[in-house]
Each structure stands twice: as structure tokens, then as C-alpha cells.
Amino acid sequence: MIRNKRAVFLDRDGTINEDLDYVIDPSHFKLLDKVLDGMRLLQQNYFKIIVISNQSGVSRGYFTIHQVDNFHRKMRDELKKGGIEVDGIYFCPHYKNGKVKEYAIDCLCRKPNPGLILQAANDFQLDLKRCFMVGDKILDVEAGIKAGCKSILVLTGKGKEELKNRKAWEIHPHYITRDLLDAAYWIIKTSYNQDV
């Protein structure tokens, strides 16, 4: 069934939670407005929700994989309080000029590369043409487009700053909007038109 093959990929910092630049302490996790409402609407419409995040702080030596996992446990707990369970969380710990040798590589999974999205698509048997990427940076948009998804820029997090730069963009989002709830409305409308 088509509905099983659809997912919305979400950037983490600045899209789901407040972007505090390399946020790692679970007590600093703060959900953005409208995120729970947006996720709920997507799940009611049979979209899987999969988090796709760059966490180069691991390669830079700011924190460990274990700490990232702890932060994600906190995120799952907070979302659960709002009745939401995300289907997957994928993150890239790499950065080519990092300090921690094993992660200091030029990988294919750091956005704007589409590696994490492609991996999730494989794991969940998704039809990427029916999937969407939502993020607050143009590199999120780019990763989604490279993977064959429609991409949305949200103006939470760093989104407004990104928008100021739009004359320099080489790729463009399919849609730009204020928050995840409005993105969810657009996704549902767009995928309905795609299906009829």
C-alpha cells in the first residue's frame, strides 16, 4: 500500500527542538511550538516520521555518540508525552576536519548529502518520490532534493537567517513556511494531489 511507503524526514535542531548550537544536555531539550501538532497530523495521515540530523559535534570532539543517544532518549520521552513516537532517528557523527579520528571523514551521510535519507528509505522500504524533507537550513532542503523528495524550509531555528540569503541559493525549496504544522498541511495537500 502506498501509505506504507511514505515518510516525512525531519531535521532535528531548529526544526523539532530549539537550536542551541551543538545542544547535547538533555535538560536543554526544548520542543518548538506546533511540532507536536504537526507530527500528529502527519501520523494521522499515515506518514512515518524519521529524524535526519547532522551531529558533527561528535567528530569535533564536543560530545560522544553515547551522549547523542542520551539526548535522543530525552527527545523520544518528550514526544511521547505528547502522544508521538517517531519511527526512526538517523544522525551523521562525521565532519571531515574534526578532531576525533574515526569520525573525521568526508562521508556520504552528512547533509547536504542524502546518505541518511537513502539509508532510511532502504530500511523502511519507502518510495522517496512520495516522501518529504523538512528543515530550517538550505542543506536540509538540498539533501531532500538529492534523495528525490520534495523539500520544505521552515522559518523556525535558523530558517529566517537562511531566507535572507536566498539570492545565493543554488537549489530552492518546494515550499517555505513558518512552522512544522503549516508544513504538515502543505504535505498532506500535496500528497493528496499526487495520489489522485
144 near Mg ion (CB under 5 A): no
CB 68 within 8 A of CB 24: yes
Specify the residue, 46 or 62, whose C-beta has the smaller distance to Zn ion.
Answer: 62
The residue count for binding Zn ion (CB under 5 A) is 5
Q: Kind of pairing, strands 48-54 and 7-10? A: parallel
133 near Zn ion (CB under 5 A): no
142 near Mg ion (CB under 5 A): no
List CB contacts of 179: < 8 A, sequence separation 6 or more: 32, 33, 34, 35, 38, 154, 155, 156
Q: DSSP H helical segments within 51-136, as ranges?
A: 57-60, 65-81, 115-124
Cell of 162: 537562511
Q: Which of residues 110-129 bind Zn ion (CB under 5 A)?
A: 110
Active site residues: 11, 13
Q: How far apart are CA 74 and CA 25, in angstroms?
A: 9
72 touches, from Zn ion, Mg ion, none (C-beta below 5 to 8 Å by class): none
94 touches, from Zn ion, Mg ion, none (C-beta below 5 to 8 Å by class): Zn ion
Q: How far apart are CA 171 and CA 4, in angstroms?
A: 29
Q: Output the CA torsion sign for 152, 148, 121, 43.
A: positive
Which residue is associated with the grid cell 548529502? 113
Specify the residue, 14 or 115, whose C-beta has the smaller distance to Mg ion.
Answer: 14
Beta carbon of residue 107, minimum distance to Zn ion (angstroms, whole number): 3
**Piece of 9-17, 44-52, 142-150, 170-178 that binds Mg ion (CB under 5 A):** 9-17
Beta carbon of residue 115, minimum distance to Zn ion (angstroms, whole number): 6
What number of helices (H) and strands (E) belong to the chain? Answer: 7, 6
**Piece of 13-21, 71-79, 96-104, 168-176 that binds Mg ion (CB under 5 A):** 13-21
115 near Mg ion (CB under 5 A): no
Reference 27, options 81, 87, 67; nearest CA is 67
**Piece of 34-42, 115-123, 136-144, 182-190 that binds Mg ion (CB under 5 A):** 136-144
**Residue ranges in contact with Mg ion by CB under 5 A:** 11, 13-14, 136
